[in-house]
Amino acid sequence: MGVLKKYGDLLPLTEKTPNVNLEEGSTPLIYLPRISDKLGIKLYGKFEGCNPSGSFKDRGMVLAVAKALEDGKRALICASTGNTSASAAAYAAYAGIPCFVLLPAGKVALGKLAQALMYGAKVIAVKGNFDRALELAREGAEKTGCAMVNSVNPFRLIGQRSGAWEICDVLGKAPDWHAIPVGNAGNISAYWAGYNEYFKLGKIKTLPRMMGFQAEGAAPLVTNQPCPNPETVATAIRIGNPVSAHLARAAVQESSGEFNSVTDEQILSAQRLLASEGGVFAEPASCAPLAGILKLRDLGKLPEGITVTMILTGNGLKDPDTAMSQVGKPIEINDTLEDLMRVLESK
Ligand code: AN7
């Protein structure tokens, strides 16, 4: 069941809102026993890579596109580090309307680029970073009347609240810590709003601490100033001037949470750990929270026994280049049993 149907009561739908549904949401909340034991906590990963376009963006995009259609809009526009563009392009294809996506040239993971092109979006590579592409997209939207579907579109963040509702529905409570990567800072804000809504409805009795993690080379919320030249292997969160910074700061402050940064090396090491000891392949940006939890553990700042949910925001398959740069090559053999046995019996 898609997000609009599953959580329609909590969403601003009207009789005129068209049904848009790629069966997004309802992603698995995976308990990770080996990594949990290692850390002395109960660690769950919410695998947003299982969404139809392979990232959490679909939760908000479905509502943003439904409302755009309701509003009579006939085209979508967005800037993106990759996942928003893939999601927008997918829903535009579903709805049968054009989609313009502005990407920072040369800085988008291969799978995401393939998606946007395959779904049939008009893909525009901007010789500049994401922050500049976003400014351009906003101006383009104003001039043309295209629906702007970046998270400045309020419906995006409302739809993304559904992630928090699902976690609470499955756990029967809120986690102690909610660990999440932070780029443009929309998702952390949406989750905080979602938890608060459930709290007010009496569906949960406590609220989580919101723990936001950024890449060291793109950590404006940690340094408390915009980062003019963001740089990180986690291209999804290569963002220097987050649009929802104010909401994210409020979420962290109100929840007694924290922003922390992690190095690219820590991110990639966490990505390998999650895959090889968790069985979950998430893209680099999605592994910033695990990197951060490990860092906090090393600093003695990870309480024992707590329940932690981390949002694995995007699928690892989206960025095969970064994955392949870290791992070995397959063992090639002749097609003989002898060759095979040599490998099976080696240590
Ligand atoms: C995998 O696609 O900004 O803090 O343009 O793709 O809500 O921005 C992506 C962001 C985390 C950060 N993980 O979320 C885009 C874009 C992944 C992402 C984030 C993104 P926000």
For ligand 1, is residue 314 a contact (CB within 6 Å)?
A: yes
What does the alpha-carbon distance between residue 152 and residue 67 come to, in Å, rounded to a whole number?
Answer: 14
What's the CA-to-centroid distance between 184 and ligand 1, angstroms?
6
Residue linked to tokens 């526009």: 77
Measured CA to CA, the distance from residue 54 to residue 9 in angstroms comes to: 25
**Residue 179 in contact with residue 289, Cβ under 8 Å?**
yes
Cβ atoms of 152 and 131 within 8 Å: the answer is no
Q: Is 271 in the pocket of ligand 1 (CB under 6 A)?
A: no
Predicted local distance difference test score (pLDDT) of residue 43: 98
Residues in CB range of 151: below 8 A, 6 or more apart: 60, 84, 157, 184, 186, 243, 244
Distance 153 CA to ligand 1 centre (A): 14
Beta strand 76-79 with 99-104 is parallel
Q: What is the pLDDT of residue 133?
A: 96
- Classify burial at 192, counting beta carbons within 10 Å of its beta carbon; exposed 0-12, middle 13-18, buried 19 or more: buried
**Ligand 1 mutation pick, 210, 213, 237, 274, max ligand atoms within 8 A of CB:** 237
Tens of pLDDT, residue by residue, the chain (347 residues): 999 999 999 999 999 999 999 999 999 999 999 999 999 999 999 999 999 999 999 999 999 999 999 999 999 999 999 999 999 999 999 999 999 999 999 999 999 999 999 999 999 999 999 999 999 999 999 999 999 999 999 999 999 999 999 999 999 999 999 999 999 999 999 999 999 999 999 999 999 999 999 999 999 999 999 999 999 999 999 999 999 999 999 999 999 999 999 999 999 999 999 999 999 999 999 999 999 999 999 999 999 999 999 999 999 999 999 999 999 999 999 999 999 999 999 98
Distance set, CA 112 to CA 54, 188, 199, 272, 318 (Å): 9, 22, 35, 20, 6
> pLDDT value at position 291?
98
Q: Quick check: CB of 24 below 6 Å from ligand 1?
A: no
For position 347, what pLDDT does the model report?
81
Distances (CA, A) of 185 to 104, 157, 236, 257, 316: 18, 10, 12, 14, 21
Testing ligand 1's pocket by substitution, the residue of 51, 83, 112, 312 carrying the most ligand atoms inside 8 A of its CB is 83
Q: What pTM value is reported for the model? A: 0.97
Ligand 1 atom nearest residue 86's Cα = 2
Helix and strand numbers, DSSP H then E, in the chain: 15, 10
CA 16 / ligand 1 centre spacing (Å): 30
List C-alpha distances in Å: 169 to 26, 44, 134, 172.
Answer: 10, 14, 35, 5
Q: Are the beta carbons of 227 and 220 closer than 8 angstroms?
A: yes
Please write the tens of the pLDDT for every residue from 9-51. 999 999 999 999 999 999 999 999 999 999 999 999 999 999 9
Residue 140: its pLDDT value, please? 97
Exposed / middle / buried, residue 124 (Cβ in 10 Å: 0-12, 13-18, 19+): middle
- Kindly give the number of the ligand 1 atom that is closest to the alpha carbon of 239: 3
Contact call for residues 302 and 176 (beta carbons, < 8 A) = no
Give which of 279, 266, 154, 256 is closest to 217, Cα–Cα. Answer: 266
Q: Rounded to 5 degrees, what are φ and ψ at 155?
A: -70, -25
Question: How many residues are given for the chain?
Answer: 347
CB-based contacts of 33-40 (< 8 A; 24+ apart in sequence) = 34/277, 34/278, 35/273, 35/274, 35/277, 35/278, 35/290, 38/277, 39/293, 39/294, 39/297, 39/302, 40/302, 40/304, 40/305
Could you tell me if 52 and 65 are in contact, meaning their C-beta atoms sit under 8 angstroms apart? no
Ligand 1 atom closest to 80 (CA): 5
Q: One-letter amino acid identity for 3?
A: V
Residue 60, ligand 1, Cβ within 6 A = no
| Cα 240 to Cα 230: distance, rounded to the nearest angstrom | 5
DSSP letters, 53-81, are: TSBTHHHHHHHHHHHHHHTT---EEEE-S
